[in-house]
């Protein structure tokens, strides 16, 4: 049968009809070397169409797709249209990274990255299989296997935002995890990398059969308890409220809630209340008692452009938000726990920061709430957006300020959500990398630009500040003040 295909392909070299590669094939071929036998290379022995053909003059590499039943022409695709580099080294076809190709109405090429770990030990899990399924078409759009350090990288292309997608994570000896691909994670065109976060797999030998999940719901800007909030638990991660909850309840007068007899597994907790933006939180139930603190962001009002909300787990106890605004290469203000309020003085046409609210000036950005006792939230509200400047948002693991190469921040479950008056716009999960500083994103010309590489590093001393922070040369005095405040805070 193989010889028949090769003969047909050779005879119809001048009568070939182009089609296109599906995302799964693109991912399968990317960054591979396929040995050539004559003019042909077989990259998939299980697929009768798993062939690449090198034309007789050696100028074109095409991937066999099949035969058109009406015309009898072979269907093929030029690989150069889909990959940044395709070549022949005399023995192998060498294929490089995929090109970015965006179809109208779709989301362009993305690398969805994350880490698979054991829920009980927190250790990375290699060899976990990840499959992304288009629920609308029933097709697999991407698949991969976690590496030796638990990391995974799913390359996806031309996702339709009107479709729903499910990510399945499976490994022998562990419970399978099903999670939705939340479009708020994917961002806008031009962003190449998206962090799905840490996927926790529960051992099939887990002794936890049913657990109690309880917690409290608070206002993210004031810390006040929120009574009568709807609390619904859904099976799977990043699940929307369009499905049916497995349990639901309401918070009491003190903002507390309790869900009992919850089987071990991965869930989404959805909390809603009039006057607030809904909150979606991933929950892994692997202990007899799980405690969760949920914060709801009040609806933004006129004059409020962005609200940035940081939340995390029980450890470390103190993560800090830092919002910096630069204009013409100069730091105009830095909002954090020691300088919570930034204003604009119209009379003197300059910015001013204070450690308490100050009347008579235009509010620019406030740290609404600072938390030092686990979970968060820490919330920053930006009242005015200056499109001629750059905003930079960082998370600092204050609890491990002087610990180099720490994994505490990576293991914290830290998540940053950015809200507008239309609801949550972006969700950022902490990278699973060493460091006590996480650069999350910038805002340029009113557009959120996420950090995609080199986003985790150490800031633990004067030397660390000057060697780690990428913008250190622009505002050295800020670092001196920050370190001075850190020492005061410890006292």
- DSSP per residue over 216-238, as a string? EEEETTT--B--S-EEEEEESBS
Residue 16's alpha-carbon distances to 43, 67, 69, 284, 386, in angstroms, are 20, 9, 13, 52, 55
Cα distance from N-terminal residue to C-terminal residue, the chain: 78
* pLDDT given for residue 58 in this prediction: 47
In a domain, 172, yes or no: yes
Q: Are residues 309 and 170 in the same domain?
A: no
In a domain, 351, yes or no: yes
Query: Where in the sequence is the domain holding 11, given as residue range(s)?
Result: 2-95
Q: Are residues 462 and 319 in the same domain?
A: yes
Q: Are residues 194 and 287 in the same domain?
A: no
Q: What CATH number corresponds to the domain at position 196?
A: 2.60.40.10
Q: Are residues 325 and 445 in the same domain?
A: yes
* pLDDT given for residue 393 in this prediction: 94
Q: What is the Cα–Cα distance from 53 to 11, expressed in whole angstroms?
A: 12
Are 429 and 194 spatial neighbours (Cβ–Cβ below 8 Å)? no
Predicted confidence pLDDT, tens digits, the chain (491 residues): 443 333 333 333 333 333 456 666 777 777 777 777 766 666 666 666 666 666 544 445 555 555 545 445 555 566 766 777 777 777 777 887 776 555 544 566 778 888 999 988 889 999 999 998 888 888 888 888 998 889 998 888 777 778 888 889 999 999 998 888 766 555 555 567 778 888 889 988 877 678 899 999 999 999 999 999 999 999 888 876 567 899 999 999 999 999 999 988 889 899 999 999 888 888 888 877 788 889 999 988 777 789 999 999 888 999 999 999 998 888 888 999 888 999 888 888 888 877 666 667 888 999 999 988 888 899 999 998 888 899 999 999 999 988 888 999 998 989 999 988 878 888 898 988 899 999 999 998 888 888 887 888 887 532 333 334 444 333 444 444 555 555 455 44
Instruction: Record the tokens describing residue 314, joined without a space.
Output: 């029980």
Are 78 and 36 spatial neighbours (Cβ–Cβ below 8 Å)? no
Classify burial at 335, counting beta carbons within 10 Å of its beta carbon; exposed 0-12, middle 13-18, buried 19 or more. buried
Q: Are residues 414 and 484 in the same domain?
A: yes
The model's pTM is: 0.69
* pLDDT given for residue 83 in this prediction: 75
Q: Are residues 327 and 469 in the same domain?
A: yes
In a domain, 126, yes or no: yes
Q: Are residues 8 and 78 in the same domain?
A: yes
Boundary of a domain, candidates 274, 299, 324: 299
Residue 281's alpha-carbon distances to 4, 93, 293, in angstroms, are 55, 45, 10
Boundary of a domain, candidates 201, 229, 251: 201
Average pLDDT over the chain, rounded to an integer: 78
In a domain, 105, yes or no: no
Q: Are residues 166 and 87 in the same domain?
A: no
């Amino acid at each position: 049968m193989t010889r028949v295909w090769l003969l047909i392909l050779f005879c119809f070299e001048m009568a070939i009809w182009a089609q296109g590669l599906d995302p799964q094939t693109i991912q399968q071929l990317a960054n591979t070397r396929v040995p050539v036998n004559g003019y042909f290379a077989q990259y998939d022995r299980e697929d009768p169409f798993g062939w690449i053909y090198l034309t007789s003059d050696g100028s074109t590499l095409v991937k066999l797709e099949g035969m058109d039943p009406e015309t009898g022409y072979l269907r093929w695709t030029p690989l150069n249209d889909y990959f940044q580099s395709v070549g022949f080294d005399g023995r192998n076809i060498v294929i490089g990274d995929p090109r970015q190709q965006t179809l109208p109405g779709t989301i362009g090429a993305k690398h969805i990255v994350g880490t698979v770990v054991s829920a009980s030990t927190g250790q990375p899990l290699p060899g976990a299989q990840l499959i992304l399924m288009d629920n609308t078409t029933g097709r697999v759009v991407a698949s991969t296997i976690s590496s030796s350090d638990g990391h995974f990288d799913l390359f996806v292309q031309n996702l339709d935002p009107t479709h729903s997608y499910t990510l399945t994570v499976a490994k022998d000896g562990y419970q399978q995890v099903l999670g939705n691909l939340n479009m708020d994670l994917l961002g806008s065109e031009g962003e190449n990398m998206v962090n799905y976060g840490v996927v926790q797999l529960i051992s099939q030998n887990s002794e936890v059969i049913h657990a109690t999940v309880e917690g409290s719901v608070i206002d993210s800007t004031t810390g006040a308890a929120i009574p009568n909030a709807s609390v619904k638990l859904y099976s799977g991660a990043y699940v929307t409220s369009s499905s049916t909850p497995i349990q639901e309840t309401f918070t009491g007068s003190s903002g507390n809630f309790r869900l009992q007899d919850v089987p071990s597994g991965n869930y989404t907790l959805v909390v809603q209340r009039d006057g607030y933006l809904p909150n979606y939180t991933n929950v892994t139930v692997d202990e007899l008692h799980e405690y969760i603190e949920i914060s709801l962001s009040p609806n933004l009002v006129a004059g409020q452009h962005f609200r940035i909300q940081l939340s995390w787990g029980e450890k470390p106890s103190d993560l800090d938000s830092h919002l910096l605004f630069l204009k013409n290469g100069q730091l105009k203000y830095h909002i954090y726990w020691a300088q919570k309020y930034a204003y604009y003085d119209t009379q003197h046409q300059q910015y001013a920061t204070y450690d308490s609210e100050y009347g008579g000036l235009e509010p620019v950005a406030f740290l609404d709430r600072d938390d030092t006792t686990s979970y968060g939230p820490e919330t920053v509200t930006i009242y005015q957006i200056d499109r001629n400047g750059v905003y930079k948002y960082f998370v600092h693991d204050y609890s491990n300020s002087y610990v180099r190469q720490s994994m505490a921040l990576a293991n914290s479950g830290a998540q940053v959500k950015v809200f507008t008056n239309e609801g949550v716009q972006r969700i950022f999960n902490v990278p699973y990398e060493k460091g006590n500083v996480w650069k999350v994103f910038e805002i340029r010309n009113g557009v959120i630009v996420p950090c995609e590489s080199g986003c985790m590093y150490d800031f633990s001393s004067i030397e660390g500040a000057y060697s780690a922070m990428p913008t250190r040369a622009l505002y050295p005095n800020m670092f001196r003040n920050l370190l001075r405040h850190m020492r005061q805070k410890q006292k």
